[in-house]
């Protein structure tokens, strides 16, 4: 846990005012910088102490074996794990002859600030060496959103009181020794020394190291060069070895005359290009960075973020904590997805090695809804990546005896890397989640280029998968047997409601796409007859319902299972204290599952059903997954429990700023961070789009006095300002721009210069505020967390 | 596959008349000798060529890691694997200076005979060396049923035509190099060099090697000594090394003057005793063997087997193949269980390393019914072994959050060694199978000593397990959710009929035992109130039934699942060509499962239900498990499809003599061999005991003219002779001995000297002979197998 005072509440910064070495792993994740291509954990400049060193390149991975005590047909035997690549953020400092290390001497002050508008991490320290020499160090680090291959560090040292001889060693280090990993199965397996030296080069104060991975055979290059500003004599030398390059600068600093080093970093990797090509690519990127200069990089960074915040910012008046948290969340979602460009968005972004750096359904189901409404180009790129892996998905479907394409539960490059099929391969809903993201992109942006460039094919391939997974019973109802839904405390069940409805949505969307693009569909061998069978199956989809309890069953038979014995068994997360067999056989949910069905396909349920279902599953959902609180926030808002929704919003927002799941050290929970936006915009804003139109139906909890957010819709930006009684809709996209939406059931058109105000629909909950399982009440706002 | 001509049909022998090197692995299993304590694969005396060398000591194992690509709570991390111990059956021969190796020179003739009455394996070969020297070799091997620690080899060589210098090397070899294992997941993982030398000793022509396992820390000793009979000068020397001991004899053999070597072998192992104690134990066993001498060992062996066959033989007139097969089967069942004495009976006995040498439910559900009726002391010993592991079972239950004791799905020493929980830990029915075996032993023998010595406790502990596994629904019905039944093509299901009924049987039996032994029960903390809850649950047990199809559901929802696409997918065994996820979600059964419920608990079903259920599941059961054919034989006989039952009997009987599952090389299928007896005695004999009384209801198929078998009942031996029209019941246990039984519903008492004859009840099948899945018709009698 991270205590409530660790990061003071500020609207645009995450500031750490001291340095708690026991929280280094967590703060390295919180302070990670990334542009979706390069990721730098927030390690101290001097490298030590650390929680875990981390430098990542999106999709740069090493193979790892997937062992089985008892093997089976179709089990993947080779997994993929993100690699800690050459560390370029290292700047070591010697004051006279003593290394600057916060564990020695006296650390007079230490502050780190993540600036969400500047896109920088700044560190300020004042330190007295064991020999009594005092210095001030201030470093600023950025990973450029504009120059995708570039990162940079500005490192400023000032002697205080008396002169000091300063030695700065700026390094590139490959194959860093990694700390032992914990036994928690969620933590990725360690990969020791995965990089093999290929080439090294240095000239002046610049150096480049080229490496390749031992097994997967990917090549990468890291380069650095430097600008040193100092009074007086400076010497420098640069040396390289197989696994390191080091530029050393020695200077005598007079008090009040800071020494300033700017370090430019560039990274590149490829599975195909030669190492000379990679080496030159990195040199080119360094040249560009030098040309731009440190101030230029800072300026570009801020301009990029200004544009982002203009479209994406969410203002939460009345709750400063959630205000800070949602901006922190959006910043990291942007970092994860901004420049991934043809690569996936991993569950932890590029902030840590958790989950082996894999991409899950989180991307399409949690991250892309946010990006589609705030940075649609990034959403489109992520879906293009997914489509680029279709050959693996086709092979996998064939291997499994299925038709179409079966996208992996977890992967880096596209191959299934799941080593436990009941919670991996069997979770076929990932295919419908991908299809839904494709359809959402088209509906929200009005851009059909994606559909024409792979999107139709993807819808067709997933529709065919569902047709081979589902079957009709004797009464004509369509079922999907033996698959796993979102809730990982159930597995291999029949007629999971979310899966069934998502499959039906996939089938309907595919059929509609075929009707729109009949010529292209014919090229894929799809005719209207085949599409008609999809529509038939979708219409006949079975949704299990318990007539006696008057609630839907998460899956067939769920409400007849024994209950979890919360009176005696409440060590959370349950999965670390109970076997799957017992979790699977009881009415206990790791995360929202039927709730996902109510969230995505709410139009298919009556308001009373939603209220009763929410009440039933609230009592049985332990939120051992970080994917749950945000969905429960949206549903609580939907059924009128606005304060409960607020609590869940706070929980989703705090998952990493408070380390609620005790594993922030392994990387941030990007989906839960995206969920903060979902909770605010889809919960309190009441945003929905499944009917194909933009629907809003806002309402605020007591603790939020005003909520303002923007969404992109068909190229326009709709600004929504919600008060307790009234909501205002605005468009500022120039003459003629307008957005048509449905407010609380009423059709409304909003045009530039013609804002629309409407009263907020009052919510009256049908049922009292539900209880959660003991010990699993949502993390409270203004909490007394110790 | 083993072709039909490989072993000529003979009533009391399994004879191989040539030597097919491609079948060496299979014949080594078929010709394996064992007494339940020591097991020797039928390797050639000279060791090479081989399929797989194999010498085993019951329960002597090495640890092996159980790795997981994704770990989970409660997964066993250390497995156990049977070890190929020091090979003492090696006798190498040099003729002049050329080694006798069937791959070189000319093998004029080669025959091996397993004599089922003598309990020996005899090999006769005539060979011409590459240099033209001709010899006859005849070796006979036995593992003594009477002297549990002893095996012996008689090795006779005769020069033909001209004299030859013969060198015989008789050896003990530890850590033999093993061939690479196949990729089939059923094959045990290889264990290389598991033995560490502890001590060695030799004197004269005797030698002893003591080793311990590297990780599990068990110690074993193997000793040999020799008697050589030869004319003329003999020299001998004995040398030892860490991993081998070798006695060499050199002699010049004149034509017509055979040279005869008798090699005595002794083995011992212990987890607790010191290595001097083990060394002396082996020396003592060798002394005893020498004292008895070769002819004495042969005589004891035959006497032991005469007694066994007198009580256990099954005569099958009219079908010579099944006649041979059932004796082969009973011989190997006896070998597996005869002298295990405090150790378990592994699925493959001591005939090969398959399944890591593990013990499964096969023991209690397939092997012990046979032993209970034919060699009840062996059955009692096996159940005492199971009870001796209860502390592991109690710990396992606790770890899983359950009460009572949870016996392992697979183990050697008692710890759960299953690395795939859906088909391991979740198969809780093993506990009810163990309880049923305890209850069966009491019912059949009338001996309550087992119940008083652990049996009550076992029934109580398993009953408590079931009470913590099951639950009542709102209507009061009792369910068991989320467990796996016998069919391994379904897993983690609700209300598996066999599991539910077996659990109910366990609960009822435990309650009855508590009523019988109230004082002892009180010591266990059980009162009549607790026992009453068991009876209530047992009475309320839910048995899912499909009203529309009018068949029982193997588990809740089974009959609503999609069918297997046999038109396109019929590569057997299916599990090597399809993922579990697809097998689990379809109406396809690896093996009889609902059938096991009909078999064991037939009294609970109407005759019409049984007929309809058999018909339904016959069409969906692919028999990819060797545990199925025998059960299907019993059921087919029950519903009047006597010729189908005969076909299944043949298949169960042929599983290893024909290598029907293509893995006989890894060891025999002891349970299927036991199933041959079940098919004949429980199928055609109509033997049942679940009501607590001995019930018989015989009927023969066209292909069997007379069936005679004996069963032990309450200390008497009932001989049953079945003709097509009439059955005769006899008792020969002296004055006053009598057996009360129910013949086809009628109570009958049979006494010594007063045989009873009754007409056989005619069977009229309710439904036509059912179809099996394509390509899965039972292996036919008099087959045209190529």
- Give the pair of three-digit tokens for residue A277: 């090509």
- Give the pair of three-digit tokens for residue B452: 């008083």
By CB atoms closer than 10 A (0-12, 13-18, 19+), residue B625 is: buried
Q: Are B138 and B122 in contact (CB under 8 A)?
A: yes
pLDDT tens per residue across span A61-93: 999 888 898 989 999 999 999 999 999 999 999
- List the single best residue of B581, B583, B588 to mutate versus A (max A Cβ within 10 A): B581
Question: Is residue A545 within 8 angstroms of chain B, CB to CB?
Answer: no
DSSP bridge pairs for A212: A196, A219
Contact assignment for B69 to A66 by CB distance below 8 Å: yes
A473 vs B contacts (CB less than 8 Å): 560
What pLDDT score was predicted for residue A400? 97
- CA of B495: which chain A residue's CA is closest? A561
Interface of A with B in 41-70 (CB under 8 A): 66-70
Q: Which residue, B679, B648, B639, is CA-closest to B763?
A: B639
What pLDDT score was predicted for residue B185? 42
Range in A261-270, A490-499, A685-694, B698-707 the model is least confident about: A685-694
Cα distance between the two ends of chain B: 9
Question: Is residue A403 within 8 angstroms of chain B, CB to CB?
Answer: no
**How large is the average pLDDT for residues A352-368?**
96
Name the H helices within B655-773: 670-677
- Closest residue to B66, CB basis, from A69, A420, A421: A69
**What is the CA angle A9-A10-A12, rounded to 5?**
140
Tell me the three state secondary structure of residue B51: coil
Q: Which residue, A681, A684, A672, A597, is CA-closest to A630?
A: A672
- Give the pair of three-digit tokens for residue A196: 């093999």
- Give the pair of three-digit tokens for residue A667: 């990387």
- Give the pair of three-digit tokens for residue A505: 């949505």
Q: CA–CA separation, A281 vs A283, rounded Å?
A: 5
What pLDDT score was predicted for residue B781? 62
**What is the CA angle B172-B175-B176, rounded to 5?**
80
B548 vs A contacts (CB less than 8 Å): 474
A420 vs B contacts (CB less than 8 Å): 68-70, 72
- Give the pair of three-digit tokens for residue A292: 């731009």
Contact assignment for A70 to B420 by CB distance below 8 Å: yes
Interface contacts A/B by beta carbons within 8 Å:
157
**How large is the average pLDDT for residues A606-612?**
97
What pLDDT score was predicted for residue B65? 86
Q: CA–CA separation, B298 vs B302, rounded Å?
A: 6
What pLDDT score was predicted for residue B782? 55
Q: Which residue, A670, A628, A661, is CA-closest to A184?
A: A661
Contacts of B63 (CB under 8 A, 6+ apart): B78, B79, B80, B81, B213, B215, B216
- Closest residue to A72, CB basis, from B185, B482, B492: B185
- DSSP single-letter state for residue A641: -
What pLDDT score was predicted for residue B181? 59
ipTM: 0.92
- Give the pair of three-digit tokens for residue A734: 């120039």
Q: CA–CA separation, A351 vs A370, rounded Å?
A: 19
What pLDDT score was predicted for residue A781? 62
Strands B219-229 and B164-173, sheet pairing: unpaired
Q: Prior bond to B397 cis, omega within 30?
A: no
What pLDDT score was predicted for residue B253? 96
- DSSP single-letter state for residue A352: -
> What distance in Å separates residue B100's CA from the closest CA in chain A?
41
Q: Are A48 and A24 in contact (CB under 8 A)?
A: no
Contact assignment for A73 to B579 by CB distance below 8 Å: yes
Phi, psi of A778 (to 5 degrees): -60, 150
Tell me which H or E stretch contains A479. strand A478-480
Mean pLDDT per 10-residue segment, chain B (786 residues): 90 97 97 98 97 97 90 93 97 96 97 98 98 97 97 98 97 91 43 90 96 95 97 94 97 96 97 94 97 98 96 96 97 93 94 95 97 95 96 98 98 96 97 98 96 96 98 96 98 98 98 96 95 98 98 97 95 96 97 98 96 98 97 98 97 95 96 97 95 94 97 96 98 93 96 96 95 91 45
Q: CA–CA separation, B733 vs B718, rounded Å?
A: 9
Contacts of A147 (CB under 8 A, 6+ apart): A285, A288, A289, A292, A297, A300
Contact assignment for B560 to A473 by CB distance below 8 Å: yes
Q: Which residue, A551, A668, A663, A662, is CA-closest to A612?
A: A551
- Closest residue to B419, CB basis, from A70, A73, A491: A70
Contact assignment for B577 to A72 by CB distance below 8 Å: no
> What is the separation of C-alpha A746 from the centre of its chain, rounded to a whole number of angstroms?
34
Question: Is residue A702 within 8 angstroms of chain B, CB to CB?
Answer: no
Tell me the three state secondary structure of residue B515: helix
pLDDT tens per residue across span A409-420: 999 999 999 999
Tell me the three state secondary structure of residue B590: coil
pLDDT tens per residue across span A557-569: 999 999 999 999 9
- In three-state form (DSSP H/G/I as H, E/B as E, the rest C), the secondary structure along A372-414 is HHHCHHHHHHHHHHHHHCHHHHHHHHHHCCCCCCCCCCCECCC
Annotated catalytic residue, options B488, B530, B651, B730: B488
Residue A271 has pLDDT above 60, yes or no: yes
Question: Is residue B411 within 8 angstroms of chain A, CB to CB?
Answer: no
Phi, psi of A735 (to 5 degrees): -55, 140
In whole angstroms, how far apart are CA A765 and each of A593, A683, A700, A743, A781?
21, 15, 14, 20, 21
- Of chain A, the percentage scoring pLDDT greater than 90 comes to 93
Q: At what angle do helices B642-654 and B629-638 cross, to 10 degrees?
A: 160
DSSP bridge pairs for B270: B219
| Residue given tokens 């609700």 in the structure block | B494
| Residue given tokens 């893995």 in the structure block | B663
Tell me which H or E stretch contains B743. strand B738-743
Contacts of A699 (CB under 8 A, 6+ apart): A637, A640, A642, A684, A686, A722, A760, A761, A762, A763
Phi, psi of A750 (to 5 degrees): -115, 130
- DSSP single-letter state for residue A356: G
Q: Are A177 and A161 in contact (CB under 8 A)?
A: no
> What distance in Å separates residue B351's CA from the closest CA in chain A?
22
Tell me the three state secondary structure of residue A469: helix
Q: Which residue, A407, A387, A389, is CA-closest to A397?
A: A407
| Residue given tokens 């502990």 in the structure block | B461
- Give the pair of three-digit tokens for residue A405: 């394409």
What pLDDT score was predicted for residue A48? 94
Tell me which H or E stretch contains B327. helix B320-337
């Amino acid at each position: 846990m991270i205590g409530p005072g660790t990061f003071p509440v500020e609207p645009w910064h995450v500031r750490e005012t001291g340095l708690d070495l026991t929280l280094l792993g967590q703060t390295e994740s919180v302070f990670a910088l990334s542009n979706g291509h390069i990721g730098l954990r927030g390690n101290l400049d001097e490298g030590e102490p650390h929680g875990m060193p981390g430098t990542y390149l999106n999709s740069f991975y090493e193979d790892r074996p997937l062992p089985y005590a008892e093997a089976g047909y179709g089990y993947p035997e080779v997994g993929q794990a993100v690699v800690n690549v050459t560390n370029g953020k290292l700047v070591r400092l010697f004051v006279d002859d003593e290394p600057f290390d916060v564990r020695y001497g006296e650390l007079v002050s230490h502050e780190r600030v993540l600036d969400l508008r500047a896109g920088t991490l700044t560190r300020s320290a004042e330190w007295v060496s064991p020999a009594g020499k005092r210095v001030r160090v201030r470093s600023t680090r950025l990973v450029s959103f504009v120059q995708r291959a570039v990162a940079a560090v500005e490192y400023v040292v000032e002697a205080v009181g008396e002169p000091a001889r300063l030695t700065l060693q700026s390094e590139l280090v490959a194959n860093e020794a990694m700390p032992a990993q914990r036994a928690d199965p969620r933590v990725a397996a360690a990969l020791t020394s995965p990089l093999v030296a290929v080439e090294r080069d240095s000239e002046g104060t610049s150096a480049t190291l080229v490496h390749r991975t031992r097994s997967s055979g990917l090549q990468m290059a890291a380069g650095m060069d430097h600008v040193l500003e100092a009074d007086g004599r400076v010497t420098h030398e640069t040396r390289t070895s197989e696994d390191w390059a080091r530029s050393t600068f020695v200077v005598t600093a007079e008090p009040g005359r800071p020494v300033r080093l700017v370090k430019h970093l560039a990274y590149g990797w490829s599975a195909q290009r030669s190492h000379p090509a990679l080496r030159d690519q990195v040199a080119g990127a360094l040249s560009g960075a030098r040309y731009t200069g440190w101030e230029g990089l800072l300026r570009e960074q801020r301009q990029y973020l200004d544009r982002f915040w203009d479209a994406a910012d969410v203002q939460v008046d009345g709750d400063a904590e959630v205000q800070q948290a949602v901006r922190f969340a959006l910043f990291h979602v942007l970092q994860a997805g901004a420049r991934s460009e043809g690569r996936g968005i991993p569950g932890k972004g590029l902030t840590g090695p958790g989950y082996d750096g894999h991409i899950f359904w989180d991307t399409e189901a949690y991250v892309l809804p946010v990006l589609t409404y705030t940075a649609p180009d990034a959403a489109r790129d992520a879906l293009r990546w997914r489509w680029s892996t279709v050959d693996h998905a086709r092979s996998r479907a064939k291997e499994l005896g299925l038709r179409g394409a079966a996208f992996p539960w977890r992967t880096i490059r596209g191959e299934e890397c799941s080593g436990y099929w009941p919670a991996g391969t069997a979770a076929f809903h990932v295919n419908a989640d991908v299809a839904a993201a494709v359809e959402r992109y088209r509906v929200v942006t009005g851009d059909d280029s994606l559909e024409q460039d792979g999107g139709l094919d993807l819808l067709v391939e997933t529709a065919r998968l569902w047709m081979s997974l589902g079957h009709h019973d004797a009464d004509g109802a369509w079922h999907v047997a033996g698959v796993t839904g979102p809730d990982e405390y159930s597995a291999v069940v029949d007629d999971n409601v979310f899966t069934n409805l998502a499959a039906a949505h996939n089938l309907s969307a595919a059929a509609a796409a075929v009707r729109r693009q009949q010529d292209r569909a014919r090229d894929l061998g799809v005719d209207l007859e085949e599409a008609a069978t999809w529509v038939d199956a979708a219409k006949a989809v079975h949704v299990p319902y318990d007539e006696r309890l008057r609630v839907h069953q998460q899956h067939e038979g769920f409400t007849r299972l024994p209950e979890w014995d919360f009176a005696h068994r409440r060590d959370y997360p349950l999965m670390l204290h109970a076997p799957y067999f017992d979790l699977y056989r009881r009415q206990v949910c790791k995360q929202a599952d039927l709730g996902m069905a109510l969230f995505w396909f709410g139009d298919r349920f009556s308001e009373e059903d939603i209220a009763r279902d929410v009440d039933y599953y609230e009592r049985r959902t332990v939120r051992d997954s970080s994917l749950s609180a945000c969905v429960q926030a949206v549903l609580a808002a939907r059924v009128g429990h606005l304060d409960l929704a607020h609590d869940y919003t706070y929980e989703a927002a705090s998952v990493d700023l408070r380390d609620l799941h005790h594993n922030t050290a392994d990387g941030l929970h990007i989906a839960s961070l995206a969920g903060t936006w979902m909770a605010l915009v889809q919960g309190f804003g009441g945003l929905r789009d499944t009917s194909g139109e933009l629907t809003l139906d806002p309402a605020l909890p007591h603790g939020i006095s005003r909520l303002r957010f923007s969404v992109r819709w068909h190229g326009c930006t709709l600004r929504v300002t919600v008060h307790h009684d009234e909501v205002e809709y605005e468009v500022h996209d120039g003459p003629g721009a307008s957005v048509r939406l449905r407010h609380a059931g009423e059709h409304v058109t909003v045009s530039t210069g013609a804002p629309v105000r409407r009263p907020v629909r009052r919510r009256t909950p049908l049922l009292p505020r539900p209880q959660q399982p003991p010990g699993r009440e949502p993390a409270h706002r203004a909490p007394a967390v110790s």
